[in-house]
Chain A
Amino acid sequence: MMNLLRLIGGRTASAPVARERLQILLAHERGLRGRPDLLGVLRAEILAVVSRHIVLDPEKVIVRMDRSKHVSTLEVDIEVPTGLERSVAVAAT
């Protein structure tokens, strides 16, 4: 009888919803766990790449990640020393 009522009421199965929610959540959690120091790694690699071309103060490279319900942002703030032309020239030698 319950099934019949559900059919009439048009209630849909909830298991696919559970499955999808879990898949999204676990993909996120595994990502975090797999790379506990994701920001540190990103910062080091960005610094390495940019330093090939421009002389940088490592302290002035800031990598920030922000997660909210709908959007996640990755903010990279690199302060380039004054006299950019010279820095580029020095890095190239």
Chain B
Amino acid sequence: MAKVLVVTSGKGGVGKTTSTAALGAALAQTGEKVVVIDFDVGLRNLDLVMGAERRVVFDLINVVQGVAKLSQALIRDKRLENLWLLPASPTRDKDALTDEGVGIIITDLRTKFDWILCDSPAGVERGALLAMRYADEAVIVTNPEVSSVRDSDRIIRMLDSKTVKAERGERVEKHVLITRFDSARASRGEMLSIDDILEILETPLLGIIPESQEVLLASNVGSPVTLNNAASAPARAYTDAVRRLMGEAVTMTVPVERKGLMNRLLGRRAA
């Protein structure tokens, strides 16, 4: 049974696209057939983070409008053969994306993939609604910061009321993914703690991604962080999160960077 998972947040810049790419790649590495869809029409970036920006010919809107077939728009990852990307369109006409059109594409993708990851645009408007519309599960990306937690709360209410599942009286399975977490600052009381966030959002935790330079390094070269440096702290955190998504019980930890002697002496990694 294919699963449709939306990666959403309300607030922008919290790490939705990074997380979609990292989770998608980690899922594909377990042997699952995965497609990641960029719903951020007009501001597409998933192709860039995945390193596929020069291979985009057709996009989501072309498929919705019947200009291209789904098979023509899907881009296969160069590193993982069971990872695919459906890019967003650079067009400004966001209305080109319709509820019905998205529904047809998702139904089609369900027959071809094990996991369909929808990278939501920021905001609580039409684009975010369409990204979550057909979801079975949701990953709510949250930073340990007041405005992000507030927006996550708003998105959680939307998942409970505006999705097809909610309208049928069913529930979208929701998970909070905390990103850019700094254990040292949290322990000094300078940052909302994990317990604070979970208590406020009343939603189970999928994983804790530590703040890390590795995330920027990975996006610089167009590679999901789980592929770019699998041993890095964020990559291990995303891999653990994927194991939990697949139903494994994995102890919750905040991975820390393992530094070699040379790196310690030099004080940083070579990029």
Contacts and interface: CB of A to CB of B under 8 A. Distances in A.
> Do A and B come together as binding partners?
yes
B150 A25 contact: yes
Interface of B: 145-146, 149-150, 153-154, 157, 186, 188-193, 196, 200
Nearest to A13: B189
A74 interface: no
Given A13-B188, A22-B146, A23-B200, A29 B154 contact: yes
Given A15-B192, A15-B193, A26 B157 contact: no
Interface residues of A, number: 16
A19 to B, nearest CB: 5
A23 B146 CA distance: 10
B150 A26 contact: yes
A16 interface: yes
A21 interface: yes
Majority DSSP secondary structure for residues of A touching B? helix
A66 B202 CA distance: 30
5 contacts: A13-B189, A18-B145, A22-B150, A29-B153, A33-B157
Contacts of A19: 192, 196, 200
B190 A14 contact: yes
A22 B153 CA distance: 10
B186 A15 contact: yes
Contacts of B154: 29
A73 interface: no
B75 to A, nearest CB: 39
Contacts of A18: 145-146, 192, 196
Given A26-B153, A29-B153, A29-B154, A3 B146 contact: no
Contact of B189 (A16, A21, A22, A25): A16
Contacts of A13: 188-190
A30 interface: yes
Contacts of A3: 188
Contacts of A16: 189
Contacts of B146: 18, 21-22
Interface string A1-29: 00100000000111110110111011001
